């Protein structure tokens, strides 16, 4: 059983990263593989080891808390690894926990693969259980709100590279509101001359701050 991997990220695809540990590359499915690439190397990835009849899959997370939340989602009937990973890739653990504890079905049903019945089961099964694992710390953060306001206009115009980076991040499940807020937070260290990859990394650093 693999609990975590510590190594360097060799390359990333849309839904997984390859983590090299002692000349062996492990394919690790992650909520946001680009965040692993952007993180300081070597990186420690906390692993959920999933065995199917036809495959052995590794799901990786930046923190043990994210992994625990992923496993709690798997306990809900109708939520498999693909859906649970999609839920975590679309927003932050803070957003997800707060939505569950506040019975925010509107938020949950916007997540990939989550219909109304599945959202209701998630709330019913997990609303009173997340606090036992210490997830209440996510829901009490004063810097987070499920209500997004229109972002103020950026002091740096949005160039083509940022539009391309934004499109790539939206493909990973981030919303326009989240990306607009990230762009605002990047004003001090972003430039129109930055490449698409650099802008994505800078945006991911902001997004993972919550």
- Predicted confidence pLDDT, tens digits, the chain (210 residues): 899 999 999 989 888 999 999 999 999 999 888 888 877 788 999 999 998 888 899 999 988 888 999 999 999 999 999 999 989 887 678 788 888 989 999 989 988 889 999 999 999 999 888 876 555 544 443 333 333 333 333 345 566 777 778 888 887 778 877 887 888 888 777 776 677 778 888 888 878 765
Tokens of 191: 């430039």
Q: What is the pLDDT of residue 134?
A: 59
Q: Which residues of 163-193 are buried (b: 16+ CB within 10 A; e: fewer)?
A: eebbebbeebbbeeebbbbbbebbeeebeee
């Amino acid at each position: 059983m693999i609990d975590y991997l510590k190594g360097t990220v060799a390359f990333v695809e849309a839904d997984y990263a390859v983590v090299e540990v002692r000349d062996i590359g492990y394919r690790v499915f992650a909520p946001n593989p680009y965040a692993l690439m952007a993180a300081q190397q070597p990186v420690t990835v906390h692993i959920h080891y999933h065995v199917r009849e036809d495959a052995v899959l590794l799901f990786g997370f930046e923190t043990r808390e994210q992994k625990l939340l992923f496993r709690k989602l798997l306990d809900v009937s109708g939520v498999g690894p693909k859906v649970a990973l999609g839920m975590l890739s679309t927003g932050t653990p803070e957003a997800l926990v707060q939505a569950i504890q506040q019975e925010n079905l509107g938020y949950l049903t916007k997540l990939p693969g989550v219909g109304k019945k599945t959202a209701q089961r998630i709330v019913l099964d997990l609303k009173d259980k997340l606090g036992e694992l210490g997830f209440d710390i996510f829901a009490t953060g004063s810097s987070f709100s499920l209500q997004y306001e229109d972002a103020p206009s950026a002091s740096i115009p949005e160039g083509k590279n940022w539009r391309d980076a934004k499109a790539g991040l939206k493909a990973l499940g981030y919303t326009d509101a989240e990306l607009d807020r990230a762009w605002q937070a990047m004003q001090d260290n972003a430039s129109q001359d930055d490449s698409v990859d650099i802008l994505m990394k800078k945006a991911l650093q902001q997004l993972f701050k919550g």
